[in-house]
Structure 1
Amino acid sequence: MKKLSIVVPCYNEQEAAPIFYDTVHGMEDKLSSVELEFIFVDDGSKDGTLDVLRGLHAKDERVHYVSFSRNFGKEAGIYAGLEKSTGDYVVIMDVDLQDPPAMLPEMLSYIESGEYERVATRRVDRKGEPPIRSWFARKFYKLMNKISSADIVDGARDYQMMTRKVVDAILAMGEYNRFSKGIFGWVGFKSKWLEFENVERVAGETKWSFWKLFIYAIDGIVAFSTAPLIMASVFGVIMCLVAFIFILVIIVKTLILGDPTSGWPSMVCIILLVSGIQLLCMGVLGQYMAKTYLETKKRPIYLVQEEE
């Protein structure tokens, strides 16, 4: 019998973890064609999440967990879970049940058919989210698909089931700065997309603020596109041309009108504009240099404090 590993990143989820386990455990009759393996990854939680995971392991030997020495982020949690998984098939799920476990049998059927190597999911709506956050999310997906080589579907979730071949391909990308949605799309393989409506958390509160999502989006753009660097170069060329034109205008105006001091307010505005563009371009370059700097350090993606 083949094995299905369920990878579940957790951060301060002491309330949701046991509910998640009970829910998936109650579906075993619908997943009878595979043996289940639970891989919980405690991402440096500050509540009682680790104690809950210890209890689940003591109750069910199929439950395993990895506890980080500190909070390394969900991307590190996903990578650690994939590394520890031993199943022929692996599925990544959020512990808050916003990834409906009811979809697991259908996902498994597509994988077992041999027609697909990966079954991914996407939300078709964003009910319950602030409108401004939803708008930025949709624009982000459109932008990423235009400027990068990674195929990222609008509303794509980390919730997906993969064969061992796909998992090995993802693990082979051992980069420190990880953006899983981009990695999943970049590795390719024949994929099936399933849609579902947004589901509210079963317990606890979301750990993703608008600011964290914004930073995550920037990381994704830097990780899978060099378009910002090209834009910075284009800005530089344009501003050089504009500056040259202004120089000619000032020279001609001075020779004809003999009034070199007029127009200083507009000059101040121009200086501020050019300075702002320079700082923007420097910031873009700085982002790429910072990512390169971190990659060259060869730091581990995560550190383990305890595992079973």
Structure 2
Amino acid sequence: MKKLSIIVPCYNEEEVLPLFYAEITRVMDEMKRTYAELTFELLFIDDGSRDKTLTQLRELATKDQRVRYISFSRNFGKEAGMFAGLENATGDFVVVMDADLQHPPSFLPEMYSYVRDGEYDCATTRRVSRKGESKVRSWFARKFYRIMNKISQTEIVDGAQDFRFMSRQMVDAILSMREYNRFSKGIFSWVGFKTKYIEYENVERAAGTTAWSFWSLFRYSLEGIFAFSTAPLAIASVLGLVSCVIAFLMMIWIIVKTLAFGEAVAGFPSIMCAIFLLGGLQLFCIGVLGQYLSKTYLETKQRPIYIVRETEQIYQERKAEHQD
């Protein structure tokens, strides 16, 4: 027998959870008829939701023994949710997918067919279009992947999703990277392993609204750059060197202009321009250094990636205590 663990990070997903559960159970029953050796585990990660997501997960765990859940003490972010799921999944194969049905469960049988025989260690989806997204957001997303692949030695495929079907060996490799500042798209690529990309058209949310604003995506992209590239440090060094060369050439020009042609050099405007230029460059370089230093600072604290407030087992124990 082989167990498939399906990890579903959730944040304020009360509107879409019933739709997701209905679809995923349909797919699991279909796979069970085709692959008799499979058993299933549904592991939901409640990332500090403020709606009735946790209440629904309690009900699902009560009526379906395949359902497990972990509820965080607060919102730790999707990266922490995925890590918690991978760390607590018990399956021989592990899937990470969203609850909003933008990651269609109908792909699971095809993914399993690629990974089950060991031909691939991972099967994942790759969007070939960004249908439903604004043009501005799509443009920035494409530019991010292009820049990231130029400045980093870790290749990140444009359009690749967090929707991944992985072998236990690949999951264990990911779990060995216990860094606090996590960027899973980069981690999935960095650990390697043979991956099958399945192309598909973008699917919009089945219900509810996304928690990813443009600003949160921008900050997430910066996390990826600082986590998998030291190019910003090199850029800061190059800018400093270029500034020194420009300043040296300007000094020579001023000396030659004054001695050879006897022309007076305007003092205040040139000084102010030099001050603003060099001051801006210094602040930019210090900011880049500060970003790397802040990441190092957070790593040395060795804080837990997430804190558990409740699981289905803890809930049942509390419920039994109240009944007694």
TM-score between the two structures when normalised by the length of structure 2: 0.92
Amino acid in the other structure paired with 2:116: E
Kindly state the Cα deviation for residue 214 of structure 1 after the two structures are TM-superposed.
0.5
Whether contact under 8 Å (1:250, 1:260) holds in the other structure is no
Whether contact under 8 Å (1:68, 1:306) holds in the other structure is yes
1:123 aligns with 2:127: yes
The whole-number CA distance in structure 2 between the counterparts of 1:28 and 1:241 is 65
- Three-state SS of the structure 1 residue aligned to 2:70 is strand
| Partner of residue 67 from structure 2, selected from 59, 63, 66 | 63
The whole-number CA distance in structure 2 between the counterparts of 1:132 and 1:276 is 28
The corresponding residue for 1:48 is 52
- Three-state SS of the structure 1 residue aligned to 2:99 is coil
Kindly state the Cα deviation for residue 268 of structure 1 after the two structures are TM-superposed.
2.6
1:38 aligns with 2:46: no
1:255 aligns with 2:224: no
The corresponding residue for 1:3 is 3
- Mapping of 1:265-304 within 5 angstroms? 265-304=269-308
The corresponding residue for 2:158 is 154
Whether contact under 8 Å (2:254, 2:265) holds in the other structure is no
Amino acid in the other structure paired with 1:20: F
- Three-state SS of the structure 2 residue aligned to 1:271 is helix
1:142 aligns with 2:146: yes
Aligned-residue CA RMSD (Å): 1.2
Amino acid in the other structure paired with 1:16: V
Kindly state the Cα deviation for residue 21 of structure 1 after the two structures are TM-superposed.
1.0
**Cα deviation 1:143-185 (Å, max 9, x = unaligned):** 1111112221001110010000000000000000000000000
The whole-number CA distance in structure 1 between the counterparts of 2:77 and 2:219 is 12
1:217 aligns with 2:221: yes
The whole-number CA distance in structure 2 between the counterparts of 1:221 and 1:181 is 11
The corresponding residue for 1:107 is 111
**Cα deviation 1:201-224 (Å, max 9, x = unaligned):** 011101001100000000000000
The whole-number CA distance in structure 2 between the counterparts of 1:29 and 1:11 is 26
Aligned residues: 308
- Three-state SS of the structure 2 residue aligned to 1:127 is coil
Q: Percent of pairs identical after alignment?
A: 62
- Three-state SS of the structure 1 residue aligned to 2:218 is helix
1:24 aligns with 2:24: yes
The whole-number CA distance in structure 1 between the counterparts of 2:137 and 2:274 is 33
- Three-state SS of the structure 2 residue aligned to 1:26 is helix
Gaps of 5+ in 2: 313-324
